[in-house]
Structures are given as C-alpha cells and as structure tokens.
Amino acid sequence: LLSNVWGPAKARALEEAADLQDMAQSEGDNIEIAPWDWRYYSEKVRSAKHDLDEAEIKPYFQLDQMIEAAFYTATCLFGLTFKELKGQDVYHPDVRVFEVFDKNGDHLGIFIGDYFARASKRSGAWMSAFRSQQKLKGDVRPIIVNVMNFSKAPESEPTLLTFDDARTLFHEFGHGLHGLMSNVTHPLV
C-alpha cells in the first residue's frame, strides 16, 4: 500500500511546494520554502486559487444537516442507525441523546452530542466515554459523547458551521464510532 501511495503523494507534495515557492516569489519574498513556511503560504495559495468566502458556504453546513450526514455515513459504512431520545435527563438542555443500533437492529450504545459553546465548558472538541464497552462484567454497552464548541444560532435560526467546524464534527464522530463499535472483553483503564 505504501509503495502504491508514495509516488503519487510525493509528486503532489512537490507540486504544492512549487505553488508555494511561486507565491513567495510573486510577493517579493526571496526565500526557499521551508517546513515552517508551508501553512502560511498554502493559505495564500488556497485563497488565490479558490477565493473561497467562508460566509458564502456556511448555509450549506447547517449543524442539524451535518449531524444527519454523519449518521448517514455511519449507516452506509457500518449499517448503524440512530434514534434521538427526547426528554432525557441530561447535564445541559442543549445536549442531544441518541440510541445507536447495529446492522442487525440490536442496541449498540448511546451517543451524546454536546455541540454548543458555553461559559462553563472548556474550549476545543473531543470524544469521551461516560462508560466504555466491555464484556468482563456482562455485556456492557458504551455511552459515548462528542463535545464541540460551535456558536449557537439565535432561537428559530439554524446553526451554521464553517467548513472547518464541519470537518471537526466528522473527525470527532469518527472517534465516537470507534468508542461505540468497540468489541473487547477487558475495558481500557
């Protein structure tokens, strides 16, 4: 696999490096692109080539639609289904709870989405487990939480995400799937 990927990946990296070098020179920067220059100039190249305005694409990344897209992806890839459980006793009113079923329709676990920033919450995004899956003490099913810090829209308006926010949601959901689909006897400590 690595041998098959290495050639095309190296060729693409060299193309990107050439684009960055051209950008630096076009701005009068008489440097040779170094690793620490990569992010700075790649953003300039991206902006010049694509001229993408985050505000224009945000309507395409509505939070509820991105959650549905993540669930749809899990259904297509693994046969999982998600059913929102309303009226649960949760630690904050914005928290959403979903029962997760495997491809056979059997209970797999609980997925909790805590999507919005608030004063009592640390910044960042992460996945955690209130309870990990294990079989040492019976068939213990996981309770997994994805925590984000998206800006909540005013009441009756959809919450819009940036492209980076949407990517973060999918990234953390991947960790959540790992926790939900765990199948071990001994829990991790």
The b/e string for 150-165 (b: 16+ C-beta within 10 A; e otherwise) is beeeeeeeebbbeeeb
Q: Indicate which residue of 68, 99, 155, 172 is catalytic.
A: 172
Quick check: is 172 catalytic?
Answer: yes
CB 99 within 8 A of CB 85: yes
**What is the secondary structure of 74-111 as a DSSP string?**
HHHHH--EEEE-TT---SSTT-EEEEEE-TTS-EEEEE
Distance of CA 52 to the CA centre of its chain: 21
Residue with tokens 């490096």: 17
Residue with tokens 């953390």: 172
Catalytic residues: 172
